[in-house]
Structure 1
């Protein structure tokens, strides 16, 4: 029987994995797969290719789950919410445009949060509303 309980720890695990995925792919600090690839003299290094495949698998899982659970409109709403949040942080002086690295980190953190919410949304929605999402239906023919 499948485990149906969903707790904050489940969300936090998904959030941490999303952070690792996003920040391992690219981050403003210069320590990411993108920087590694750009600075590499051998673009066909097996470790670069292997890590790229692993990252692509992670992105595919998170993006597919987010697209299926939130949909285009839901994802657009979350992006609008986060964009408004960044705008408010800049407007009220909590975030400065003078340091693009900090702005980049905030944007990547919010992208990680979007992916974590997206991959967890069916569980969150069930906890909030009591409704179950059913995307795939098995039929016996």
Structure 2
């Protein structure tokens, strides 16, 4: 699918086509009409990239202007950071603590419900 920055055909949200930013104060495009070289956060994440601290350079508006997606430059995007072994170990400990019952000390295959504070066996399973 190629996305072009040309004037969209009638029937599309033409009111959102403002590539100069005169109407919205920010370059704005209707849904599916953003120029090449720009991507949303979700598209960056799918490509293994992140905005790297850069601000968005344009936006996409749809649903009568109630929905917005900010666009970032692909050439300024950086690779996603990966967790260090110490960070991964800390996350694993935290997730294990969420599965450990305070009463019986067993590690369950599910997260302990916070409203009970104990596993379902200790709670009795009834509210």
TM value normalised by structure 1: 0.21
Q: Larger % of helix: which? A: 1
TM value normalised by structure 2: 0.23
In our comparison, the structure showing a higher alpha carbon Rg is: 2
Q: Larger % of strand: which? A: 2
